[in-house]
Structure 1
Amino acid sequence: MEPIFCTIVPPHVLDKLARNEDQALAEPARRTLERDAALRTRRRLETVSAIGPVPAGAPSDQPARTVYDAKHRTDLPGRKVRAEGDKTAKDLTVNRAYDGLGATFELYLKAYNRHSIDDSGLPLLASVHYDESYNNAFWNGEQMVFGDGDGEIFNDFTISVDVIGHELTHGVTFHTANLEYFGQSGALNESLSDVFGSLVKQYALQQTADQADWLIGAGLLAPRVTGVALRSMKAPGTAYDDDVLGKDPQPATMDHYVRTGRDNGGVHINSGIPNHVFYLVAESLGGFAWERAGQIWYDTLTGGELSTTADFAAFAALTAASARARYGDGEEYQSVLKAWSQVGVATNGGAAELPHQTPAPEGAQPPVHG
């Protein structure tokens, strides 16, 4: 399977916005939807070719970042404006993209001993200032791309480091479980990006689970919007309630699971359910969420047992099995069982059997920025 084209703003949000009577709000959303549709089609037709070679030999413990300026055009990657080790740029958007790539690299390296997206030191590339008033950010299988937003509904998409972590994690998922982007497997794909996107932010800020906001895209919504973010893992369905965007449709439990043919079967909507499970596990265990809770999810994603078409029940059983394999039958395993039960998904007691896991790396070093 080829890498999927993944955007941070769900189509249902842009659809709602595109139907607004105020053309100043509707037109950028329509153009964004059209651009996304064209890019998605192109992604299916193209074969993937990495921009820049993967370094030979043992992967480095340092990232290989390059940021480009698209200059409000759509030709990628654009003009190179900052490479690894270059001094800080005058453009804050460039620096935020550079730092976000670094923060994501640091989480995966320090917490999970993973060397970049593919675990082989893949260079991390990003283009900023994409198109005019482009209301999205995306991973296209090769690089990150950020719009500046329209300034009315959405701000600059480099503002939220968790958005960068989210999109790059789609690359991690492609190189590991490669979950199909439809229905429950697609919702798991989205949820894993939210989980590790949130962990990137928490790691960068050195926040414990009880200190974190558990929001995806905090700061992206412009002041006129009644809302705090695109999604809430702590309380799915509460991220926004706005006269233009409508109400956040994410469910927190299977009782409110949304059956729809849109958005690839609701991948951005029903991801609220496994998102909430991770929050519940992290909250129960306390401390730094990237350690035990994150380790369980990372083991599940990378362990080789996760089917490309896995549904919530299969993923639940594997997280329970991963918790038991690494930590035994203690509080980690019990927290996973309880959390899935709370949202209405059976784990079968973690019936999936996994090989014994090596211990997680001890401690975590502060992330390197700039």
Structure 2
Amino acid sequence: MSSLPYHCVCCIIPSRMLRQLAEAAHLSEEERACLLDQCELSAHLRGQRSVMPTLAATQRTGEQRRTIYDARHKTTLPGRVVRTEGAAAAKDAAVNQAYDNAGVTYDFFHTVFQRNSVDNKGLRLDASVHYQRNFNNAFWNGQQMVYGDGDGRLFHGFTAAIDVVAHELSHGVTQYAVPGGLVYEGQSGALNESISDVMGSLVKQWRLQQKAADADWLIGAGIMAPSVGKALRSLADPGNRTLTWSGDDQPKNMADYIQDGDVHSNSGIPNHAFYATALALQGHAWEKAGPIWYKALGLLTPNASFADMARATAQAAVLLYGSDTAEQYAVQRAWQLVGVQLESS
């Protein structure tokens, strides 16, 4: 059996969202066909499991090394090098956004969790911009970030959204931090998505220096046209379509769990558990709730369930803060709130 971690291709926009948008009456046949083609491509990408060896070199702790490539509207990766670590800003906004937001994400993990890049061994942060033409998605492919430009009508600005960049890079963190990685299907797949939503939210709040009570807890706000919606997901109120988009089907309690549902849908349950924990502990979410969730990653197995995540976070809270503490109780109550049974320790 391979000792390499599970590599999944993880997209920010769910295929079901692309399919639903393709059914909109106001779209031209050309736009509809383009969306359906992209839906098929995204599904194909997600069906891949990367078995490529790691090519990026390591560096000393605390030293970033970023390389941004231009895919030039093709699907061959990585493309042409357009900016390297320490180089002057490019004339291309997407290049600079991918570079800067990767840097913020690296700094967050290094400062808050003392993690040296996504693999904790200094993996170089590579990203390709301008993937395909009018590509309405962004994804982590097991080795690097890849960004489409959006079609300019429904989606845009993937590189400008710090939470989107951090979400996708966090798939890389999960790939290495969970022993063997998290299998991208069922509850383990939903946990994979949820962990990225949690970390994406934390990076955004950290950059803005927001307290948990003041944050919007939205993922993907600003990457879509107003006609599509306001955001992809809400950790504060999963499934609230007034906060997100018209097809948001995320449950926030196990009573509404979607059997065989999309990993982007059922992730609402663990998302809300983290939100409830962070709100109960007050202050900055990355100071107490964040470390609990991060430490829990090392306690999971590839096919972890929501109940496994509940136990892992409860154990992590005790390891970090002790038994019979506010932190332990906050975690326990949060999982009870979303209907996940947690055995008494």
Specify the alignment match of 1:238 in structure 2: 240
TM-score (norm 2): 0.93
Q: For 1:281, what is the secondary structure of its paired residue?
A: helix
Tell me the residue number matched to 2:56: 52
> Which of the residues 330, 335, 358 maps onto 2:330?
335
Alignment map for 1:20-99 (pairs within 5 Å):
20-21=24-25, 22=27, 23-41=29-47, 43-44=48-49, 47-55=51-59, 59-99=60-100
Give 1:157 deviation, angstroms.
1.1
Partner of 1:3, secondary structure, is coil
Measure the CA separation in 2 of the matches of 1:239 and 1:89: 38
- Once the two structures are superposed, residues 94-132 of structure 1 have per-residue CA deviations (whole angstroms, 9 ceiling, x without a partner) of 111011111110111000000000000000000111111
CA deviation after TM superposition for structure 1 residue 15, in Å: 1.6
Aligned to 1:200: 203
- 1:307 positional shift: 1.7
Q: Does 1:182 align with 2:165?
A: no
Write the distance in 2 (CA, Å) between the matches of 1:25 and 1:238.
28
1:114–1:246 distance in 2 versus 1, CA, 3 Å: same
Q: Is 2:118 the partner of 1:120?
A: no
Once the two structures are TM-superposed, the CA of residue 239 in structure 1 deviates from its matched residue by 4.7
Alignment TM-score, normalising by the size of structure 1: 0.87
Gaps of 5+ in 1: 352-370
Verify the 8 A CA contact 1:253 1:273 in the aligned structure 2: yes
Per the alignment, in what secondary structure is the counterpart of residue 202 of structure 1? helix
Distance across 1 between alignment mates of 2:270 and 2:243:
22
C-alpha separation in 1, matches of 2:12 and 2:156: 13
SS in structure 1 opposite 2:266?
coil
Tell me the amino acid that sits aligned with residue 145 of structure 1.
Answer: V
Residue 223 (structure 1) aligned with residue 226 (structure 2): yes
Partner of 2:290: 294
Percentage identity across paired residues of the two chains: 49
Residue 247 (structure 1) aligns with: 247
> In structure 1, what is the Cα distance between the partners aligned to 2:138 and 2:242?
19
CA contact (8 A) 2:150 2:158 kept: yes
Query: Aligned partners of 2:73 and 2:137: how far apart in 1?
Result: 13
Structure 1 stretches of 4+ with a deviation exceeding 4 A read 239-242
Instruction: Give the superposed CA RMSD.
Output: 1.7
Aligned to 2:277: 281
Matched, 1:5 2:9: yes
Tell me if structure 2 keeps the 8 A contact 1:54–1:120: yes
How far the C-alpha of 1:70 sits from its partner, in A, is 1.0
Q: CA deviation at 1:204?
A: 1.2
Aligned partners of 2:6 and 2:183 also within 8 Å:
no
Matched position secondary structure for 1:88: coil
Residue type at the aligned position of 2:43: A
Going from structure 1 to structure 2, the CA distance change for 1:308 and 1:213 (only over 3 Å counts) comes to: same
One-letter amino acid of the structure 1 residue matched with residue 232 of structure 2: L
**Does structure 1 retain, via aligned residues, the 8 Å contact 2:6–2:182?**
no
Contact 1:285 1:335 in 2 (8 A): yes
Q: Deviations over 1:120-156 (max 9, x none)?
A: 0000000111111101000001110001111121112
Q: 1:74 deviation in Å?
A: 1.2
Q: In structure 1, what is the Cα distance between the partners aligned to 2:6 and 2:256? A: 32
CA positional deviation for 1:18: 2.7
Partners of 1:34 and 1:195 in 2: CA distance: 27
Shift of 1:310: 1.3
Mapped contact 1:296–1:322 kept (Cα < 8 A):
yes
Does structure 2 retain, via aligned residues, the 8 Å contact 1:187–1:270?
A: yes
Q: Structure 2 stretches of 5 or more lacking a match?
A: none
- Once the two structures are TM-superposed, the CA of residue 296 in structure 1 deviates from its matched residue by 0.3
Deviation at 1:240, TM superposition (A): 5.5
Q: Secondary structure at the match of 2:24?
A: coil
User: Which amino acid is 1:254 matched to?
Assistant: M
Partner SS for 1:99: helix
- Report how far residue 345 of structure 1 moved: 0.8
Counterpart of 2:216 (choices 177, 202, 213) is: 213
